[in-house]
Protein backbone atom coordinates (compact mmCIF):
# COMPACT_ATOMS: atom_id res chain seq x y z
CA UNK A 1 0.00 0.00 0.00
CA UNK A 2 2.85 2.35 1.01
CA UNK A 3 4.63 1.61 -2.24
CA UNK A 4 1.53 2.58 -4.18
CA UNK A 5 1.16 5.82 -2.21
CA UNK A 6 4.84 6.63 -2.76
CA UNK A 7 4.45 5.92 -6.48
CA UNK A 8 1.41 8.20 -6.54
CA UNK A 9 3.37 10.99 -4.86
CA UNK A 10 6.25 10.60 -7.28
CA UNK A 11 3.89 10.68 -10.25
CA UNK A 12 2.28 13.82 -8.84
CA UNK A 13 5.72 15.44 -8.44
CA UNK A 14 6.62 14.37 -11.97
CA UNK A 15 3.31 15.81 -13.26
CA UNK A 16 4.13 19.09 -11.50
CA UNK A 17 7.34 19.37 -13.53
CA UNK A 18 5.67 18.72 -16.88
CA UNK A 19 4.52 21.36 -19.29
CA UNK A 20 0.92 20.17 -19.01
CA UNK A 21 0.76 21.18 -15.36
CA UNK A 22 2.39 24.59 -15.92
CA UNK A 23 0.88 25.59 -19.26
CA UNK A 24 -1.01 28.85 -19.43
CA UNK A 25 -2.91 30.35 -22.37
CA UNK A 26 -0.01 32.76 -23.03
CA UNK A 27 2.38 29.86 -23.57
CA UNK A 28 0.03 28.27 -26.09
CA UNK A 29 -0.41 31.57 -27.98
CA UNK A 30 3.34 32.13 -28.21
CA UNK A 31 3.96 28.52 -29.28
CA UNK A 32 1.41 29.07 -32.07
CA UNK A 33 3.16 32.30 -33.09
CA UNK A 34 6.48 30.42 -33.18
CA UNK A 35 4.92 27.72 -35.36
CA UNK A 36 3.51 30.44 -37.64
CA UNK A 37 7.00 31.94 -38.06
CA UNK A 38 8.44 28.55 -38.96
CA UNK A 39 5.56 27.95 -41.40
CA UNK A 40 6.02 31.35 -43.09
CA UNK A 41 9.75 30.79 -43.39
CA UNK A 42 9.43 27.33 -44.94
CA UNK A 43 6.29 27.77 -47.02
CA UNK A 44 6.80 31.33 -48.32
CA UNK A 45 10.55 31.74 -47.67
CA UNK A 46 9.95 34.95 -45.69
CA UNK A 47 13.39 35.76 -44.18
CA UNK A 48 13.97 32.04 -43.42
CA UNK A 49 17.47 32.55 -42.02
CA UNK A 50 15.95 34.61 -39.24
CA UNK A 51 12.37 33.46 -38.87
CA UNK A 52 13.34 29.82 -38.34
CA UNK A 53 15.77 30.52 -35.47
CA UNK A 54 13.38 33.09 -33.98
CA UNK A 55 10.34 30.84 -34.42
CA UNK A 56 12.12 27.84 -32.91
CA UNK A 57 13.38 30.07 -30.12
CA UNK A 58 9.78 31.03 -29.38
CA UNK A 59 8.94 27.36 -28.94
CA UNK A 60 11.86 26.89 -26.54
CA UNK A 61 11.15 30.10 -24.66
CA UNK A 62 7.54 29.21 -24.09
CA UNK A 63 7.86 25.65 -22.94
CA UNK A 64 5.89 25.81 -19.69
CA UNK A 65 8.04 24.68 -16.80
CA UNK A 66 8.02 25.18 -13.06
CA UNK A 67 10.33 28.15 -12.56
CA UNK A 68 10.53 27.47 -8.84
CA UNK A 69 12.16 24.11 -9.59
CA UNK A 70 15.43 25.92 -10.44
CA UNK A 71 15.98 23.81 -13.55
CA UNK A 72 18.16 26.54 -15.08
CA UNK A 73 16.60 26.21 -18.51
CA UNK A 74 14.97 29.63 -18.85
CA UNK A 75 16.68 32.50 -20.63
CA UNK A 76 16.11 34.82 -17.69
CA UNK A 77 17.56 32.35 -15.13
CA UNK A 78 21.07 33.47 -14.32
CA UNK A 79 23.66 30.84 -15.22
CA UNK A 80 21.53 28.89 -17.72
CA UNK A 81 23.06 28.18 -21.12
CA UNK A 82 20.47 30.36 -22.83
CA UNK A 83 21.11 33.17 -20.35
CA UNK A 84 24.83 33.06 -21.16
CA UNK A 85 24.18 33.12 -24.92
CA UNK A 86 21.65 35.90 -24.41
CA UNK A 87 24.39 38.16 -23.04
CA UNK A 88 25.49 38.69 -26.64
CA UNK A 89 22.13 40.34 -27.27
CA UNK A 90 21.81 42.15 -23.95
CA UNK A 91 25.33 43.56 -24.07
CA UNK A 92 25.06 44.36 -27.79
CA UNK A 93 27.87 42.05 -29.00
CA UNK A 94 26.04 40.24 -31.79
CA UNK A 95 24.76 43.16 -33.92
CA UNK A 96 28.24 44.63 -34.63
CA UNK A 97 29.48 41.14 -35.61
CA UNK A 98 26.55 40.81 -38.01
CA UNK A 99 27.42 44.21 -39.44
CA UNK A 100 30.97 42.96 -40.00
CA UNK A 101 29.54 40.16 -42.12
CA UNK A 102 27.14 42.49 -43.94
CA UNK A 103 30.04 44.78 -44.78
CA UNK A 104 32.03 41.84 -46.13
CA UNK A 105 29.18 40.78 -48.41
CA UNK A 106 27.96 44.22 -49.57
CA UNK A 107 29.00 45.75 -52.85
CA UNK A 108 28.73 49.52 -52.56
CA UNK A 109 29.45 50.05 -56.28
CA UNK A 110 25.88 51.15 -57.09
CA UNK A 111 26.12 53.82 -54.41
CA UNK A 112 29.60 55.03 -55.35
CA UNK A 113 28.61 55.16 -59.03
CA UNK A 114 25.57 57.35 -58.36
CA UNK A 115 26.20 58.96 -54.96
CA UNK A 116 23.10 61.16 -55.01
CA UNK A 117 21.15 57.98 -54.26
CA UNK A 118 22.64 58.10 -50.76
CA UNK A 119 20.21 60.92 -49.96
CA UNK A 120 17.25 58.55 -50.46
CA UNK A 121 18.73 56.44 -47.67
CA UNK A 122 18.66 59.57 -45.50
CA UNK A 123 15.07 60.51 -46.44
CA UNK A 124 13.72 57.11 -45.41
CA UNK A 125 14.92 57.71 -41.86
CA UNK A 126 11.82 59.86 -41.45
CA UNK A 127 10.24 56.51 -40.59
CA UNK A 128 12.44 56.23 -37.49
CA UNK A 129 11.85 59.73 -36.21
CA UNK A 130 8.15 59.70 -37.13
CA UNK A 131 7.68 56.47 -35.18
CA UNK A 132 9.62 57.97 -32.28
CA UNK A 133 7.12 60.83 -32.02
CA UNK A 134 4.14 58.47 -32.36
CA UNK A 135 5.54 56.21 -29.62
CA UNK A 136 5.90 59.19 -27.29
CA UNK A 137 2.31 60.16 -28.01
CA UNK A 138 1.20 56.63 -27.11
CA UNK A 139 2.74 56.98 -23.67
CA UNK A 140 6.17 55.37 -24.00
CA UNK A 141 9.17 56.82 -22.18
CA UNK A 142 11.60 58.76 -24.44
CA UNK A 143 14.24 56.00 -24.37
CA UNK A 144 11.61 53.35 -25.16
CA UNK A 145 10.21 55.53 -27.96
CA UNK A 146 13.69 55.86 -29.46
CA UNK A 147 14.16 52.09 -29.42
CA UNK A 148 10.72 51.52 -30.96
CA UNK A 149 11.33 54.15 -33.64
CA UNK A 150 14.35 52.27 -34.94
CA UNK A 151 12.01 49.55 -36.26
CA UNK A 152 11.50 51.99 -39.15
CA UNK A 153 15.14 51.51 -40.07
CA UNK A 154 14.16 48.03 -41.29
CA UNK A 155 17.40 46.64 -39.99
CA UNK A 156 17.21 43.83 -37.43
CA UNK A 157 20.71 44.09 -35.92
CA UNK A 158 20.39 47.88 -35.58
CA UNK A 159 17.00 47.49 -33.87
CA UNK A 160 18.39 44.91 -31.45
CA UNK A 161 21.51 46.96 -30.77
CA UNK A 162 19.58 50.12 -29.95
CA UNK A 163 16.86 48.41 -27.92
CA UNK A 164 19.51 46.56 -25.87
CA UNK A 165 20.90 49.95 -24.92
CA UNK A 166 17.71 52.00 -24.55
CA UNK A 167 14.86 49.61 -23.68
CA UNK A 168 15.99 46.05 -22.88
CA UNK A 169 12.51 45.14 -21.60
CA UNK A 170 11.04 45.81 -25.05
CA UNK A 171 13.79 44.13 -27.04
CA UNK A 172 11.84 40.96 -27.82
CA UNK A 173 8.84 42.88 -29.15
CA UNK A 174 11.02 45.30 -31.12
CA UNK A 175 13.16 42.56 -32.67
CA UNK A 176 10.21 40.37 -33.61
CA UNK A 177 8.36 43.39 -35.00
CA UNK A 178 11.38 44.53 -37.04
CA UNK A 179 12.02 41.10 -38.56
CA UNK A 180 8.32 40.45 -39.16
CA UNK A 181 7.84 43.66 -41.10
CA UNK A 182 11.10 43.11 -43.00
CA UNK A 183 9.67 39.78 -44.10
CA UNK A 184 6.44 41.53 -45.05
CA UNK A 185 8.12 44.23 -47.17
CA UNK A 186 6.75 42.63 -50.39
CA UNK A 187 3.24 43.11 -49.01
CA UNK A 188 3.62 46.49 -47.24
CA UNK A 189 5.46 48.55 -49.86
CA UNK A 190 3.86 47.95 -53.31
CA UNK A 191 0.48 49.62 -52.61
CA UNK A 192 2.21 52.85 -51.54
CA UNK A 193 4.63 52.69 -54.48
CA UNK A 194 1.70 52.50 -56.90
CA UNK A 195 -0.37 55.07 -55.04
CA UNK A 196 2.35 57.73 -54.96
CA UNK A 197 3.73 57.44 -58.50
CA UNK A 198 2.33 58.20 -61.93
CA UNK A 199 2.61 55.82 -64.89
CA UNK A 200 5.04 58.24 -66.52
CA UNK A 201 7.30 58.20 -63.45
CA UNK A 202 7.27 54.41 -63.20
CA UNK A 203 8.80 54.00 -66.66
CA UNK A 204 11.70 56.42 -66.15
CA UNK A 205 14.86 54.75 -67.42
CA UNK A 206 17.84 55.69 -65.30
CA UNK A 207 21.30 56.30 -66.75
CA UNK A 208 23.51 53.20 -66.40
CA UNK A 209 26.00 53.62 -63.53
CA UNK A 210 29.59 54.55 -64.30
CA UNK A 211 32.45 52.10 -63.83
CA UNK A 212 34.08 52.19 -60.40
CA UNK A 213 37.82 51.88 -59.85
CA UNK A 214 39.18 49.47 -57.27
CA UNK A 215 40.88 52.40 -55.53
CA UNK A 216 37.48 54.05 -54.98
CA UNK A 217 36.08 50.82 -53.59
CA UNK A 218 39.00 50.56 -51.15
CA UNK A 219 38.82 54.18 -50.08
CA UNK A 220 35.03 54.14 -49.59
CA UNK A 221 35.02 52.21 -46.27
CA UNK A 222 37.99 54.18 -44.96
CA UNK A 223 36.29 57.49 -45.75
CA UNK A 224 33.04 56.16 -44.26
CA UNK A 225 34.75 55.07 -41.05
CA UNK A 226 36.52 58.40 -40.58
CA UNK A 227 33.32 60.32 -41.29
CA UNK A 228 31.45 58.22 -38.72
CA UNK A 229 34.22 58.61 -36.15
CA UNK A 230 34.18 62.38 -36.45
CA UNK A 231 30.44 63.02 -36.95
CA UNK A 232 28.53 60.22 -35.19
CA UNK A 233 30.94 58.36 -32.89
CA UNK A 234 27.99 56.65 -31.17
CA UNK A 235 27.33 54.87 -34.48
CA UNK A 236 30.82 53.35 -34.54
CA UNK A 237 29.98 49.91 -33.08
CA UNK A 238 27.75 49.23 -36.10
CA UNK A 239 29.16 51.40 -38.88
CA UNK A 240 32.78 50.81 -37.88
CA UNK A 241 32.27 47.06 -38.25
CA UNK A 242 30.30 47.52 -41.48
CA UNK A 243 33.13 49.51 -43.07
CA UNK A 244 35.78 47.16 -41.62
CA UNK A 245 34.01 44.20 -43.21
CA UNK A 246 33.79 46.07 -46.51
CA UNK A 247 37.50 46.88 -46.44
CA UNK A 248 38.26 43.18 -45.88
CA UNK A 249 36.21 42.48 -49.03
CA UNK A 250 37.56 45.24 -51.24
CA UNK A 251 41.22 45.31 -50.21
CA UNK A 252 41.82 42.18 -52.26
CA UNK A 253 44.45 40.88 -49.85
CA UNK A 254 42.25 39.60 -47.00
CA UNK A 255 40.05 37.22 -48.93
CA UNK A 256 40.09 34.57 -46.20
CA UNK A 257 39.05 37.05 -43.52
CA UNK A 258 36.29 38.44 -45.75
CA UNK A 259 35.01 34.95 -46.50
CA UNK A 260 34.97 34.07 -42.80
CA UNK A 261 33.15 37.30 -41.93
CA UNK A 262 30.45 36.87 -44.57
CA UNK A 263 30.25 33.09 -44.17
CA UNK A 264 30.75 31.11 -40.97
CA UNK A 265 30.95 34.12 -38.63
CA UNK A 266 27.72 35.79 -39.71
CA UNK A 267 25.97 32.40 -39.83
CA UNK A 268 27.00 31.52 -36.27
CA UNK A 269 26.03 34.91 -34.91
CA UNK A 270 22.72 34.84 -36.80
CA UNK A 271 21.88 31.48 -35.24
CA UNK A 272 22.72 32.71 -31.73
CA UNK A 273 20.97 36.05 -32.22
CA UNK A 274 17.82 34.64 -33.82
CA UNK A 275 17.47 31.81 -31.32
CA UNK A 276 18.03 33.88 -28.20
CA UNK A 277 15.77 36.71 -29.39
CA UNK A 278 13.08 34.08 -30.05
CA UNK A 279 13.57 32.52 -26.61
CA UNK A 280 13.38 35.94 -24.97
CA UNK A 281 9.76 36.29 -26.09
CA UNK A 282 8.42 34.44 -23.06
CA UNK A 283 4.67 34.88 -22.80
CA UNK A 284 4.88 36.54 -19.40
CA UNK A 285 7.15 39.32 -20.70
CA UNK A 286 6.02 39.43 -24.34
CA UNK A 287 2.22 39.23 -24.33
CA UNK A 288 1.53 42.70 -23.05
CA UNK A 289 -0.39 45.75 -24.27
CA UNK A 290 2.98 47.44 -24.83
CA UNK A 291 3.98 44.75 -27.35
CA UNK A 292 0.76 45.32 -29.29
CA UNK A 293 1.54 49.04 -29.43
CA UNK A 294 5.08 48.27 -30.58
CA UNK A 295 3.69 46.21 -33.46
CA UNK A 296 1.30 48.97 -34.52
CA UNK A 297 4.02 51.65 -34.38
CA UNK A 298 6.39 49.31 -36.24
CA UNK A 299 3.95 48.99 -39.14
CA UNK A 300 3.47 52.76 -39.23
CA UNK A 301 7.22 53.36 -39.23
CA UNK A 302 7.67 51.12 -42.29
CA UNK A 303 4.87 52.95 -44.09
CA UNK A 304 6.24 56.41 -43.20
CA UNK A 305 9.73 55.38 -44.35
CA UNK A 306 8.42 54.04 -47.66
CA UNK A 307 6.34 57.15 -48.35
CA UNK A 308 9.22 59.45 -47.37
CA UNK A 309 11.61 57.70 -49.76
CA UNK A 310 9.23 57.87 -52.73
CA UNK A 311 8.20 61.49 -52.12
CA UNK A 312 11.82 62.51 -51.66
CA UNK A 313 12.71 61.13 -55.10
CA UNK A 314 9.75 62.94 -56.67
CA UNK A 315 10.84 66.24 -55.11
CA UNK A 316 14.50 65.59 -55.93
CA UNK A 317 13.58 64.99 -59.57
CA UNK A 318 12.29 68.56 -59.81
CA UNK A 319 15.89 69.73 -59.51
CA UNK A 320 17.51 67.15 -61.80
CA UNK A 321 18.11 67.29 -65.55
CA UNK A 322 15.99 64.95 -67.66
CA UNK A 323 18.86 62.50 -68.26
CA UNK A 324 19.65 62.31 -64.54
CA UNK A 325 16.11 61.74 -63.26
CA UNK A 326 15.55 58.97 -60.73
CA UNK A 327 12.73 56.47 -61.01
CA UNK A 328 10.64 57.01 -57.83
CA UNK A 329 10.04 53.27 -57.66
CA UNK A 330 13.50 52.97 -56.10
CA UNK A 331 12.51 55.39 -53.31
CA UNK A 332 11.18 52.53 -51.22
CA UNK A 333 14.59 50.82 -51.24
CA UNK A 334 16.00 53.43 -48.88
CA UNK A 335 14.31 51.67 -45.97
CA UNK A 336 17.11 49.10 -45.99
CA UNK A 337 15.62 45.57 -45.65
CA UNK A 338 18.43 44.44 -47.97
CA UNK A 339 17.84 43.18 -50.61
CA UNK A 340 14.06 42.64 -50.47
CA UNK A 341 13.02 46.27 -50.88
CA UNK A 342 15.37 46.64 -53.89
CA UNK A 343 13.81 43.52 -55.42
CA UNK A 344 10.36 45.08 -55.00
CA UNK A 345 11.54 48.12 -57.00
CA UNK A 346 12.70 45.78 -59.75
CA UNK A 347 9.48 43.74 -59.77
CA UNK A 348 7.15 46.75 -59.84
CA UNK A 349 9.32 48.49 -62.45
CA UNK A 350 9.20 45.45 -64.74
CA UNK A 351 5.40 45.33 -64.45
CA UNK A 352 5.15 48.70 -66.21
CA UNK A 353 8.13 48.37 -68.56
CA UNK A 354 9.63 44.90 -69.11
CA UNK A 355 12.88 46.47 -70.34
CA UNK A 356 13.41 48.66 -67.26
CA UNK A 357 15.75 46.89 -64.84
CA UNK A 358 15.86 48.88 -61.62
CA UNK A 359 17.62 46.41 -59.33
CA UNK A 360 21.16 47.77 -59.65
CA UNK A 361 19.88 51.34 -59.22
CA UNK A 362 17.77 50.34 -56.22
CA UNK A 363 20.77 48.72 -54.51
CA UNK A 364 22.26 52.22 -54.07
CA UNK A 365 19.57 53.56 -51.73
CA UNK A 366 19.20 50.09 -50.27
CA UNK A 367 22.76 49.99 -48.89
CA UNK A 368 22.50 53.72 -48.09
CA UNK A 369 19.51 52.79 -45.92
CA UNK A 370 21.73 50.45 -43.87
CA UNK A 371 24.17 53.31 -43.28
CA UNK A 372 21.35 55.80 -42.67
CA UNK A 373 19.58 53.67 -40.07
CA UNK A 374 22.86 53.03 -38.22
CA UNK A 375 23.56 56.78 -38.21
CA UNK A 376 20.03 57.43 -36.91
CA UNK A 377 20.59 54.79 -34.22
CA UNK A 378 23.83 56.50 -33.25
CA UNK A 379 22.05 59.86 -33.00
CA UNK A 380 19.26 58.33 -30.90
CA UNK A 381 21.84 56.73 -28.62
CA UNK A 382 23.66 60.05 -28.32
CA UNK A 383 20.47 61.85 -27.24
CA UNK A 384 18.71 59.18 -25.20
CA UNK A 385 21.42 56.75 -24.07
CA UNK B 1 2.19 72.04 -27.08
CA UNK B 2 3.59 70.28 -24.04
CA UNK B 3 7.24 70.37 -23.13
CA UNK B 4 7.58 66.64 -23.86
CA UNK B 5 6.29 67.04 -27.42
CA UNK B 6 8.54 70.03 -27.99
CA UNK B 7 11.52 67.99 -26.83
CA UNK B 8 10.47 65.05 -29.04
CA UNK B 9 10.14 67.28 -32.09
CA UNK B 10 13.50 68.84 -31.31
CA UNK B 11 15.22 65.45 -31.12
CA UNK B 12 13.44 64.24 -34.28
CA UNK B 13 14.37 67.44 -36.12
CA UNK B 14 18.00 67.34 -35.07
CA UNK B 15 18.08 63.60 -35.80
CA UNK B 16 16.81 63.83 -39.37
CA UNK B 17 18.98 66.87 -40.09
CA UNK B 18 21.94 65.01 -38.61
CA UNK B 19 21.31 62.01 -40.90
CA UNK B 20 21.05 64.32 -43.93
CA UNK B 21 24.24 66.17 -43.00
CA UNK B 22 26.10 62.86 -42.60
CA UNK B 23 24.81 61.56 -45.92
CA UNK B 24 25.41 64.86 -47.72
CA UNK B 25 29.04 64.95 -46.57
CA UNK B 26 29.39 61.31 -47.59
CA UNK B 27 27.93 62.25 -51.00
CA UNK B 28 30.46 65.07 -51.43
CA UNK B 29 33.33 62.81 -50.37
CA UNK B 30 32.32 60.19 -52.94
CA UNK B 31 32.15 62.93 -55.60
CA UNK B 32 35.63 64.01 -54.54
CA UNK B 33 36.86 60.42 -54.84
CA UNK B 34 35.52 60.29 -58.40
CA UNK B 35 37.09 63.65 -59.26
CA UNK B 36 40.55 62.91 -57.90
CA UNK B 37 40.66 59.19 -58.63
CA UNK B 38 38.72 58.71 -61.88
CA UNK B 39 38.32 55.24 -63.30
CA UNK B 40 41.14 54.09 -65.52
CA UNK B 41 41.22 50.82 -67.37
CA UNK B 42 42.99 48.51 -64.98
CA UNK B 43 46.30 47.16 -66.22
CA UNK B 44 47.49 43.61 -65.68
CA UNK B 45 51.02 42.65 -64.61
CA UNK B 46 52.00 42.02 -68.24
CA UNK B 47 50.97 45.55 -69.14
CA UNK B 48 47.83 44.49 -71.05
CA UNK B 49 44.46 45.93 -70.10
CA UNK B 50 42.03 43.60 -68.38
CA UNK B 51 39.59 43.95 -71.25
CA UNK B 52 42.21 42.91 -73.78
CA UNK B 53 43.05 39.90 -71.64
CA UNK B 54 39.42 38.85 -71.54
CA UNK B 55 39.13 39.14 -75.28
CA UNK B 56 42.27 37.02 -75.73
CA UNK B 57 40.86 34.35 -73.43
CA UNK B 58 37.63 34.32 -75.38
CA UNK B 59 39.50 33.94 -78.63
CA UNK B 60 41.51 31.07 -77.20
**pLDDT digits 0-9 by tens, A204-221:** 999 988 888 899 999 999
Is the per-residue pLDDT at A120 higher than 70? yes
Q: Which residues of A touch B45 (CB under 8 A)?
A: none
Is residue A65 a contact partner of residue A71, using CB atoms and an 8 Å limit? Answer: yes
B5 interfacial to chain A (CB closer than 8 Å):
yes
DSSP strand E in A129-277: where? Answer: none
Residue A24 in this model has a pLDDT that exceeds 90: no
For residue A130, CA distances in Å to A13, A191, A253, A373, B57 come to 53, 20, 43, 13, 55
CA separation (Å) from B33 to A203, A229, A286, A315, A346? 31, 19, 48, 27, 29
Q: Cα–Cα distances in Å, from A380 out to A96, A123, A127, A293?
A: 17, 16, 13, 20
pLDDT band at residue A81, thresholds of 50, 70 and 90?
very high
pLDDT band for B51, please (50, 70, 90 cuts): very low
Cross-chain CB nearest to A372 (options B7, B19, B39): B19
Domain-wise residue ranges, chain A? 21-63+108-384
The pLDDT score that the predictor gives to residue A14 is: 81
Residues of B with CB below 8 A from A232's CB? 18, 22
Is A322's pLDDT higher than 80?
Answer: yes
Minimum-distance CB partner of B15 among A112, A211, A380: A380
Residue A385 makes CB contacts below 8 A (sequence gap 6+) with: A143, A165, A166, A234
What pLDDT is recorded for position B2?
77
A199, pLDDT greater than 50:
yes
**Which residues of A fall within a CB distance of 8 Å from B19?**
122, 125, 372, 375-376, 379
Mutate to test the interface with A, among B12, B17, B24, B37 (most CBs of A within 10 A): B12
State the Cα–Cα distance between residues A255 and A249, nearest whole angstrom: 7
Interface check B45 vs A, CB under 8 A: no
A210 vs B contacts (CB less than 8 Å): 34, 39
Q: What are phi and psi of A368, to 5 degrees?
A: -65, -35
Q: Quick one: pLDDT band at residue B46, thresholds 50, 70, 90?
A: low
* pLDDT over 70 percentage in chain A: 99
Kindly list the distances between the CA atom of residue B41 and the CA atoms of A108, A207, A251, B32, B53, in Å, as whole numbers in the listed order.
19, 21, 18, 19, 12
Is the pTM higher than 0.80? The answer reads yes
Task: Establish, for the pair of chains A and B, how many residue pairs have beta carbons separated by less than 8 Å.
Answer: 107
Amino acid sequence: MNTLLSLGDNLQTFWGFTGFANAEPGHIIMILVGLLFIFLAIKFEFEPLLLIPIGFGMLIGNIPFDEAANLKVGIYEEGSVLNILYQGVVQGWYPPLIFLGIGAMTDFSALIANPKLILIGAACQFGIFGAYIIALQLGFEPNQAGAIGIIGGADGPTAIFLSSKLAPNLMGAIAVSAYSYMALVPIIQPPFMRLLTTKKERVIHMTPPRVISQTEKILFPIVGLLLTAFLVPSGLPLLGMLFFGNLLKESGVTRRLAETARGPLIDIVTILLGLTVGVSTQATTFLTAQSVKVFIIGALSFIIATIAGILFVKIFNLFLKKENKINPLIGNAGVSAVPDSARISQIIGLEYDPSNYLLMHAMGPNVAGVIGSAVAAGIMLGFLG
Amino acid sequence: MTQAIEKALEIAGIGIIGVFIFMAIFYLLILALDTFLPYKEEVSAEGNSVEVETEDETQN
